[in-house]
Amino acid sequence: MITIRNAEPDDAASIAQLNSNEFGYVYPVSKTKLQLESILKKSSDRIFVVCIDDEIAGYVHACDYEGTYFDPQKNIMAIAVDGSHRGMGLGRMLLEAVEDWAKLDGCSGVRLVSGMNREGAHLFYEHCGYKLRKMQKNYIKLF
């Protein structure tokens, strides 16, 4: 049975594993749990997990996205589905969970940013109705 639910702090190990396997982001489970607990307390963020028979097979993290030159939207920070479960509609279900939340919250849409090398993901997003809006570079300054 496939279900979608809100993430819980005890989902940290599964989310950390997905981040490592699907994105190459190695981050300790202990820190993932701390981040997850912090995020789950915010009304501006939601993390949904998709489960197959109570086992997490994917997740999506979305948050409010607002600015002075557009109507409020939701921003997908991460979406991952275990490679062994692709093609089952799980990613689409996760996107729809965010889209439903966005509609309930009166948002004008959902946006996301995807790495240039994730060509399979790009095709998936386009298949789900997302349109490529622009190409950009991503900068960061860490402290």
* pLDDT values of the chain reduced to their tens digit, one per residue, 143 residues: 999 999 999 999 999 999 999 999 999 999 999 999 999 999 999 999 999 999 999 999 999 999 999 999 999 999 999 999 999 999 999 999 999 999 999 999 999 999 999 999 999 999 999 999 999 888 999 99
Collapsing DSSP to helix, strand or coil, 65 comes out as: strand
Measured CA to CA, the distance from residue 42 to residue 28 in angstroms comes to 22
126 Cβ contact list (under 8 Å, min separation 6): 132
3-state secondary structure 69-93: CEEEEEEEEEEEECHHHCCCCHHHH
Those residues with Cβ within 8 angstroms of residue 45's Cβ, 6 or more apart along the chain or in another chain: 39, 61, 62, 63, 64
Classified by CATH at the fold level, domain 2-127 comes out as Aminopeptidase (3.40.630)
pTM metric for this prediction:
0.95
